[in-house]
Amino acid sequence: MADHLKGKRVCVTGGSGFLGRVVCERIKERGVAEIFVPRSREFDLTCSDAVERLFDVAQPDVVIHLAAEVGGIGANRHHPGRFFYANMIMGLHLIEESRRRGIDKFVQVGTVCAYPKFCDAPFREENLWSGYPEETNAPYGVAKRALGVMLDAYAREYDLSGVYVIPVNLYGPGDNFDLETSHVVPALIRKFCEAKGDGRDSVTCWGTGEASREFLYVDDAADGIVAAAATCTDADPINLGTGREIRIADLAALIAGLCGFKGRIVWDTSYPNGQPRRCLDVQRAEKRLGWRAKVDLEEGLKRTISWWRSTVSESAACTAAR
């Protein structure tokens, strides 16, 4: 298959973030001419003037749009308006400016939150519009879903080459471990590591533990996104996942064991579970991209726990040295 990245100037929004850093590493391996990573302090992507200025400076052939305002269930409950507006308007400005400039390709990274709350698992791409998303993250999910429609419409009317990939829940080294805004894997890792370090005999987790999720290691996600950017030529959605589903209760027990925590896990049922199930059908990614996830959950969790512990140790050492 042709490589649509080689020799091109690529702009990666969110390129300094958790996923973006790995995507940029993978792009470099493709022999691109230049990678431009806009910083939010210089380019506010929610403002059309800033997006126009970004294109003037970067002169991109390809745009990979990773930038997002996102968080876990708590953050989604507190900021539904902001999450809808920011994610919708960033994508609108970027896609429209890409059309105006006649770029070669626009890659939009979607979200598993866009799938209906009650969707037959594993989720197939054609089921994306078969119902409304789970309420706690619906504003974010609907905004991302709409951008996929925009890409398809722009392809049909303006011949803008668009790619739309839908990664399942991501995790890995460099993730957000802030308990107020983090997703489930980093939150659990931090809780169990801190509980073990403090000698506590219990850890409280949100919900009932009965909901299920699927998790994709950040390196695998980056490989899938870059494969789509390099080879894909249409805007059909493509799931990126492992196809392995796990109950949150089982995930918590697994992480507790890997962290060495042997106390009780207490479930606070006053908090919502979120979507009942999440598991993706990933056949389309394998057929069209030749991509398949390589890092299994246990290995990915071990790497992430090791990274978190080393980060905490380094932070403590720096604080002590002051």
What CA–CA distance (Å, rounded) separates 129 from 166? 14
Q: Nearest to residue 276, comparing CAs of 212, 185, 216, 208?
A: 212
Place of tokens 């980093």: 186
Main-chain dihedrals φ then ψ at residue 314, nearest 5 degrees = -65, -40
- Please state whether 67 falls in left (phi above 0), alpha (psi between -120 and 50) or beta: beta
Spatial distance between the Cα atoms of 109 and 73, rounded to a whole number of angstroms = 20
In angstroms, the CA 139 to CA 147 distance is 13
Number of H helices, E strands in the chain: 10, 12
Contacts of 290 (CB under 8 A, 6+ apart): 227
DSSP letters spanning 248-307? HHHHHHHHHHHHT--SEEEEETTS---SS---B--HHHHHHH-----S-HHHHHHHHHHH
Of the candidates 115, 132, 140, 171, the residue annotated as catalytic is 140
Question: Regarding beta strands 62-65 and 9-13, do their DSSP bridges make them parallel or antiparallel, or are they unpaired?
Answer: parallel
Whether 140 sits among the annotated catalytic residues: the reply is yes
Residue 230, both tokens: 């390099």
Catalytic residues: 140
